[in-house]
Structure 1
Amino acid sequence: MTLKMAIIGFGKSANRYHLPYLKHRKNIEVKYIYNHQRHPERETNYQGMGITFTTDLDQVLNDDEIQLITICTPADTHFDFAKQVLNHGKNVLVEKPFCKTATETKQLLDLAKQKHLIAMPYQNRRFDSDYLTLKEVLNRGYVGEPLEIESHLDKYRPDNSVHTGDKINGTFYGLGIHMLDQMLALFGKPQSVAYDIRTIQNSKSTLDDYYQMDLHYGKLKVTVKTDPLVALPNPRFILHGTTGSYVKYDIDQQENDLKLGIMPGDRNFGIDTPDKYGRVKYHNQNGDWITKQIPSLQGDYGRIYDSLYDSIINGKEKLITDEETLWDIEILESGIQQPTPSVVHF
């Protein structure tokens, strides 16, 4: 059975993180792309997919064939668009961040339940190769009981411009949602979170460009951090446990390949080269120290859509639970409501 869907928005998100993967889903058909204005120069990239490009939102919302609509618009429009979609009887996938507040998030999740529909955030970085490999290291027990994890998405990108606007458009909401969600998927809701959310490049900016969150789970502490002025890169992941340690440099390669025009389905798309593999050092049962490379698993953001197909067509549980969706936004919202630095107990 084919799942017919539409996309609201036709910017970078739709063109980089959704459509290249949907091209390779034989059981999913993109029938419409709605945008407030047409972009013929981009539309030519999708000839042969049978997509209708439209500036008429009602045409999309009132089509009974459409079962799923993905929202790829600016963050502060997510709530209103998602509510419209649900009220028209369609399942909805919402680009990150799902909403700004826990109240908005709960409204959408409750509305979806009332209408027996799915509302879910597009947490594509659950299918980053580096994250999937970290999960594998934890599952295999290489480091024993995990005690400390650092997750970094740093860069060196000087920017003295003044950035103002709603906090939902800052780095904390924009990147923090990915890093936070990855850890909540592994460990659940933390007991407390310590926040350091700042603007470090221009004091006149009201949007943050730096953040660090320390998630506390008893003996385990998880740090997620983004810094815009890191010239020598930190590892992507650092993991220490009772019997060993694991370190992985460099990020998932899917986005880099997409920027180069290397697409899902192409040979070696998103694959790490061996020099990018993480390394683990652990104490085995004989008391010997073992050091080895851990080959990176292959990432695939399209697996979000595979999971949605199974949920909508086959009735399976959705990949990201309502509880996890709410936790993500509650923790983000709590961070921007406090003076920095601060600690919030959950």
Structure 2
Amino acid sequence: MQLIKAGLCAFGMSGKIFHAPFLKEHPGFFMAAVVERSKEESKEKYPEATIYRSVEEMLQNADIELVIINTPVQTHYEYAKMALEAGKNIIVEKPFTVSVSEAEDLVNLAEEKGLFLSVYQNRRFDRDFLQVHKILNDGKLGNIKEAEIRFDRFRTTPSGKQHKEDPQQTGSGSLHDLGAHLVDQAVQYFGYPEKLFADVFSMKGQEYANDYFEILLYYKDNLRVRLKSSVFTKEAHYAYAIHGEKGSFLQERTDNQENELVAGAIPVYGKEWTEPLKGTDGILNFINENSEPERMLTASEPGNYMDYYQQIYEYIVFGYALPSQGREVVQNMKIIDASLESSKEGKIVYL
């Protein structure tokens, strides 16, 4: 099996949870390098990875062909550009960058260099996202007329992470953080909207970056898609509500991969590794082919973040499709930028 040597730009939560375990357990990857500016925490689980004290040092010295940019979003552009100019393929954590212009610049540079750029949209591999995709593809709901996708939390006190909560820092706030997932999911399900209207602000006060947003996406054929997130939601809503001409589907957000990884779970290559779902997590209510009503409880199949790295591997080795390529995600960022404009101006923004 061809071995892809990779380097991590940071070993914080993202590196420890979403990247290093999968690079280690996938037989096609070798985590050869990691940046830790002062600590050496990676040594315990990844002794084979050389520790560098800066991204610059790693790019200059490490024998790697793939770089994962998993630093705060405000640094993505700088490090991604640096890696591309060093001749490295790159994976960039979401949100891609803090602006559309930065993202477009990186995509163009990657194409000029003949390198690939993928954005780590791991929520495409959540069990709940995949279940909704399956229901939509089954066609039981008929033409879709309305959909709502939510990602709520109950985090009423500041986290202390300035790059996420300082309103003076471009790219901070829930819209770039969780919104990057919801926008991506809406586009994956329904394509690119014609226009939008948004309300974006901070429930905790003006001294903090936005922690609430509601975006209404307008599509052709009278389809409306609402994206919503709040940090003052103690009781969970259904994360997905899909309504069509023939019925409705409600889906809970039940993917637990992140929590299991935080608790120490080890992902397994080539098989399911998450805890089985206990019970059901969805409701499908529709009119069947015999014009009779049917209502059933549904259970989603397991998701697997390993599939993202498997697709990266298959792209490199076999030339298969590249997951969440940069130019595709630039379109998502245009929706985020338009949402900020809409909220500020109090108007519909055409895309």
TM-score tier by shorter-chain length is over 0.9
Q: TM-score, normalised by structure 2?
A: 0.91
**Equivalent in the alignment of 2:304:** 300
Query: Given residue 92 of structure 1, which amino acid in structure 2 is its aligned partner?
Result: I
Q: Aligned partners of 1:77 and 1:6: how far apart in 2?
A: 16
What is the CA-CA distance between 1:23 and the residue it aligns to?
2.3
Task: Report Cα offsets for 1:78-123 as digits up to 9, x if no partner.
Answer: 0000000000111010001111111111110001001110012111
Partner deviation per Cα, 1:124-146 (whole Å, 9 max, x = no partner):
11111100010000011121111
Matching of residue 151 in structure 1 with residue 149 in structure 2: yes
Give the deviation of 1:187 after TM superposition. Answer: 1.9
Displacement of 1:235 in angstroms is: 0.4
Contact 1:194/1:214, CA 8 A, preserved across alignment: yes
Partner of 1:345: 350
1:86 aligns with 2:91: no
Name the CA distance, whole Å, in 2 between partners of 1:335 and 1:25: 38
Partner residue of 2:244 out of 232, 241, 245: 241
Displacement of 1:161 in angstroms is: 8.3
Say if 2:319 is the partner of 1:315.
yes
Shift of 1:244: 1.0
Equivalence for 1:230: 233
Deviations 1:237-292 (A, max 9, x none): 11111111111123311112122222323997434524342120111111111112
Shift of 1:63: 4.9
Alpha-carbon contact 1:247-1:278 (below 8 Å) kept: yes
SS at match of 2:154: coil
Conserved 8 A contact 2:280-2:297:
no
The equivalent residue for 1:257 is 260
CA distance in 1, matches of 2:202, 2:34: 36
Separation of aligned partners in 1, 2:142 and 2:315: 34
Gap runs ≥5 in structure 1:
none
| Aligned with 2:279 (options 275, 279, 301) | 275
Q: Deviations over 1:298-335 (max 9, x none)?
A: 11112221111122222233122444211111111222
Q: Which moved more, 1:206-215 or 1:109-118?
A: 206-215
Instruction: Name 2:217's counterpart in structure 1.
Output: 215
Range with greater deviation from structure 2 (31-40 or 101-110):
31-40
Separation in 2 of the partners of 1:308 and 1:296?
A: 25
Is residue 327 of structure 1 aligned with residue 331 of structure 2? yes
- In the alignment, is residue 45 of structure 1 matched against residue 48 of structure 2? no
User: Is this contact kept in 1: 2:33–2:62, CA < 8 A?
Assistant: no
Query: Counterpart of 2:330 in 1: which secondary structure?
Result: helix
**Structure 2 equivalent of residue 103 of structure 1:** 101
The 1-side partners of 2:158 and 2:19 are apart by 31
Distance between the aligned counterparts of 1:75 and 1:305, measured in 2? 21
2:207 aligns to what? 205
Q: Distance in 2 between matches of 1:82 and 1:307?
A: 20
Distance 2:173 2:84 in 1: 27
The DSSP-based 3-state class of the residue aligned with 1:318 is coil
Checking the alignment, whether the CA contact within 8 Å between 1:198 and 1:211 is kept in structure 2 is yes
Partner of 1:187: 190
**Is the partner of 1:62 in helix, strand or coil?**
helix
Counterpart residue type for residue 183 of structure 2: L
SS of 1:196's partner is: strand
Shift of 1:76: 0.2
SS of structure 2 residue aligned to 1:281 = strand
1:141 is the counterpart of 2:132: no
> Which residue identity is paired with 1:343?
I
- Aligned with 1:275: secondary structure? coil
Query: Could you tell me which amino acid in structure 1 is paired with residue 7 of structure 2?
Result: A
Superimposed CA distance per residue, residues 29-62 of structure 1 (whole angstroms, 9 cap, x where no aligned partner): 110001322233x531334xx2112215445323
AA at the equivalent of 1:302:
M
Which residue is equivalent to 1:71?
69
- Letter paired with 2:194: Q
Question: Partner letter of residue 197 of structure 1?
Answer: V
Q: Check conservation: 1:86, 1:112, Cα contact below 8 A.
A: yes
Distance 2:56 2:326 in 1: 28
- Bigger drift between 3-12 and 163-172 goes to 163-172
TM-score by length of 1: 0.92
Distance 1:271 1:192, change over 3 A: farther
Alignment partner for residue 288 of structure 1, among 289, 292, 310? 292
CA distance in 1 between partners of 2:158 and 2:278 (Å): 37
Shift of 1:231: 2.0
Mapped to 1, the partners of 2:141 and 2:34 lie a distance apart of 46
Contact residue 79 and residue 104 of structure 1 kept, 8 A: yes
Q: Give the 3-state SS of the residue equivalent to 1:14 in structure 2.
A: helix
Letter in 1 for 2:285: K
Query: Aligned residues: percent identity?
Result: 27
Specify the code of the residue in structure 1 equivalent to 2:151: L
Instruction: Report the aligned-residue RMSD.
Output: 2.1
Task: Measure the CA separation in 2 of the matches of 1:73 and 1:58.
Answer: 13
C-alpha contact 1:9 1:33 (8 A) present in aligned 2: yes
Instruction: Give the C-alpha shift of residue 340 in structure 1.
Output: 5.7
